[in-house]
Amino acid sequence: MEYQALSSRYQDMKYRRCGKSGIQLPEISLGLWHNFGNTDRFDVGRQIILSAFDRGITHFDLANNYGPPPGSAEQNFGRMMQNDLRPYRDEMIVSNKAGYLMWPGPYGEWGSKKYLVSSLDQSLKRMKLDYVDIFYHHRPDPDTPLEETMAALDLIVRQGKALYAGISNYPAELTHKAAAILKEMGTPCLIHQPSYSMFNRWVEDGLLDVLEQDGIGCITFSPLAQGMLTDRYLNGIPSDSRAAKHVFLTEDRVVLMLPQIKKLNEIAAGRGQSLSQMAIAWLLKDKRVTSVLIGASSVAQLENNLGALGNKKFSNSELQAIEEVLGAK
């Protein structure tokens, strides 16, 4: 059945300016890190992405290695672009990244110009796109000169393969240096993508200040701490969960955090929200956060996370209660 986007798709979503740029991003964006590879059902992934677009999510975040296997999320997204979303391309922000291992040999990861340019060329073919809106360097490279990596981003923008440049997982000082290099080249750094959640607050130790100072947007990933900030583990560790499978999370870690998870869930219930909704809203309380990047394994999960936008305000007592929980050892 031919897809036709809902005419009401921009009715409820709010958009925030991305740093000092002309781009606005939805307060919630959809990432394809998990759930969209060849080990997942294509029809379910398609339903999630089309439902997201119908709810005003205009930003879809990918990387060369998303799957599994690596590259398959891009291929599946490319099928959806070709068959469903092609008429809406100009209403979408599609981002891509390179930095982690993608192919064997010395040119298949990190931050050389050779790798970044080759990777995006491959990604564009898989996604059936002429360009991406944002291209990120996915992680800092300790061995390649920062100037070379930033020159690669500048080149890619000047070639028309990306409209904007971004960085991900860079610490504060390196972010400031990278932004200065890009600015001098005439291709400003649009956005930074760090991990950030109630349980992972490293960005508060300088990075958010740098982003505000340098006029760079911020889109946060892993806002739910790999599922810990949901109702997933409130009554034990399900056999099909990430913790049980030790995928980016361990059972010991969940058990250690469970007292805090339960207390946070009580605070969320008092706000009329699920724990995941409160965790997303908590990130959006900071105006320096442009967008929160979520994943979804079903349309129902997507809808639940979008419910966070119904209550983004926190009272001082709620914020204090949350800090007391997060500060507890």
DSSP readout, 268-323? HHHTT--HHHHHHHHHHTSTT--EEEE--SSHHHHHHHHGGGG-----HHHHHHHH
- The residue behind tokens 């990278």 is 178
Structurally, the chain folds into a number of domains equal to 1
Residue in 76, 71, 83 with CA at minimum distance from that of residue 108? 71
Residue-number span of the structural domain to which 129 is assigned:
15-230+277-313
Q: For position 246, what pLDDT does the model report?
A: 62
Asked whether residue 326 is domain-assigned, the answer is no
Burial 97-131 (b: 16+ CB within 10 A, else e): bbbbebeeeeebbbbbbebbbbbbebbbebbbbeb
pLDDT per residue as tens, the chain (329 positions): 799 999 999 999 999 999 999 999 999 999 999 999 999 999 999 999 999 999 999 999 999 999 999 999 999 999 999 999 999 999 999 999 999 999 999 999 999 999 999 999 999 999 999 999 999 999 999 999 999 999 999 999 999 999 999 999 999 999 999 999 999 999 999 999 999 999 999 999 999 999 999 999 999 999 999 999 999 888 877 666 665 566 677 788 888 899 999 999 999 999 999 999 999 999 999 999 999 999 999 999 999 999 999 999 999 999 999 999 999 64
Q: For position 328, what pLDDT does the model report?
A: 61
Asked whether residue 249 is domain-assigned, the answer is no
Asked whether residue 318 is domain-assigned, the answer is no
The CA-based dihedral angle spanning residues 24, 28, 30, 35, taken in that order and rounded to the nearest 10 degrees: 170
Q: For position 329, what pLDDT does the model report?
A: 45
Beta strands in the chain (DSSP E): 15-17, 24-26, 28-31, 59-61, 93-98, 132-137, 162-168, 189-193, 217-220, 291-294
Asked whether residue 165 is domain-assigned, the answer is yes
Asked whether residue 251 is domain-assigned, the answer is no
Asked whether residue 241 is domain-assigned, the answer is no
- Between helix 207-214 and helix 172-185 the angle, nearest 10°, is 20
Asked whether residue 82 is domain-assigned, the answer is yes
What is the pairing mode between strands 162-168 and 189-193?
parallel
CATH number, domain at 294?
Answer: 3.20.20.100
Asked whether residue 150 is domain-assigned, the answer is yes
Q: For position 252, what pLDDT does the model report?
A: 83
Q: For position 248, what pLDDT does the model report?
A: 73
H helix or E strand, kind and range, residue 257 = helix 251-270
